[in-house]
Chain A
Amino acid sequence: MRLTSREPARSPITLVPMIDVLMIMLVFFMVTSTYLDLDMIPMAERREEAPVAGPGGGGARLLIRLGADGRAHLSGQVLAPDAVGAAIAARLAAAPDLEVIVLPSGGADVQALVSLMDASVAAGAGRVRIVRLEASP
């Protein structure tokens, strides 16, 4: 008679370490991720999209100056924040290809510029451009 030794019973794979790993990963992603809903506004014009500037070329233009206090000035008059869109929409009705040019003061903050651009786009302006004055060398 030949006796064979029994194979030792395999211990079952425990799931507890897996839960530990999952919990650590969960906490890691919860802590290190940001949950802000972020969008973007293009600031640089792509070369292939840039129109060729020529003297006297292009359509109608509307120059809006952004003061250091964050208020928009159009033709020398201060515009209320909720009147900017209406003023641009009125000009757009006369000239649909109107280009809005924003001349911001260096003292204005980013939010003022973004709000002005936002109002221009909401009024239907398809072309909004920011210009800035540079000190001559």
Chain B
Amino acid sequence: MKLARPKKRAHPETIIALIDVVFFLLVFFMLIGRMDATAPFAVVPPVAQSGADMPGGGATVSVAADGGLALDGRAVDQAGLLGALAARLGEEPGLLVRINADGAAPLRRLLPLAGEIEALGARDVVLVVTPEPVR
């Protein structure tokens, strides 16, 4: 009589390693990404090497190449933008206002806008730049 050896059962794949990898990826993407409100139009920030690190938070004003405006990702007109900013500055006087202007936007649109935001009482108005050209 010939007895057949029982076949060895393959070990089930452990999913602990998969969880580890997914968790590391999650932490990685949470750390390197920024959860900023994106403008409803394309904005390619100007390139500058002398910029300083940008802190998080604050209000983001986006200016498109054709002069379109958005506040925190929502398209607004200039009167609505200034009204909303005035209300937020009333609640939080030290509010950081970031102007995320397209590199091709005309200065006749940007500079008066920055002046009006400053006239609302904003003490921190910064222009968003990038150290490397956006491809």
Contact = CB atoms under 8 A, between A and B. Distances in A.
A83 to B, nearest CB: 18
A31 to B, nearest CB: 10
Interface string A15-30: 1101100110110011
B92 interface: no
A51 interface: no
A9 B6 CA distance: 29
Interface string B8-47: 0000000110110011011001101111101000000111
For the side of the interface on B, what is the size category?
35 or more
Contacts of A38: 34, 45, 54, 128-130
A33 interface: yes
A15 B15 contact: yes
Contacts of B90: none
B125 A44 contact: yes
Interface residues of A, number: 43
Contact of A109 (B16, B33, B107): B107
A77 interface: no
Interface of A: 15-16, 18-19, 22-23, 25-26, 29-30, 32-44, 46-47, 66, 104-111, 113-115, 117-118, 121-122, 130, 132
9 contacts: A22-B26, A36-B34, A39-B128, A43-B114, A47-B123, A111-B104, A114-B46, A114-B127, A114-B129
Give the 4 A-B residue pairs with the shortest CB-CB distance, closest first.
A33-B33, A39-B51, A106-B108, A111-B103
Interface of B: 15-16, 18-19, 22-23, 25-26, 29-30, 32-36, 38, 45-54, 63, 98-99, 101-108, 110-112, 114-115, 117-118, 122-132, 134
